[in-house]
Amino acid sequence: MSGEDIRIYTAEELEAMRRRGETKTDWDRLRTMTEEELEQSIADDPDWRDLIVDWDEAAWVAPKEAVTLSLDREVIDWFRHQGDDYQNRIAEVLREHVRAHRKDAA
C-alpha cells in the first residue's frame, strides 16, 4: 500500500463514519459507476494495479472460530509433516467431509 497511516475499522465503525459524513468517499459517484468505470478505477490505482482476480475461482470464506480439539497423535503428526499450514489443511479436510455428507442428506 502506498500510505503510511493504515487503520483498521469494523463495518459498523465505517457505517457510523459514513452517516456522520466523516468519509472522503464520493458514494453517489461510486453507486452510479459502470463496471467499466470501476475496472478502470482499479487499474489506475497503484495499490491495486497489479492485482489479478479470478472470479471463477473466488469463494466466500466464513469467519473462523478458535476451538480446542483432541486429535490422535498419528493424525497431528501426519498433517504437521505436510508443512506449517497444517491447521488449515485439517480444516479443509473437515470442510470437504461436511460438503460430501450434506450432498448425501439432500
Distance CA 48, CA 56 (A): 19
Mean pLDDT across the stretch 22-38?
87
Report the pLDDT value the prediction gives residue 106, as an integer from 0 to 100.
59
Q: How confident is the model at residue 1 (pLDDT cuts 50, 70, 90)?
A: very low
Mean pLDDT across the stretch 7-11?
87
pLDDT tens column, 62-96: 788 888 999 999 999 999 999 888 999 999 999 99
Predicted TM-score (pTM) of this structure: 0.42
Distance CA 25, CA 15 (A): 12
CA-wise closest residue to 48 among 39, 56, 57:
39
Report the pLDDT value the prediction gives residue 96, as an integer from 0 to 100.
93
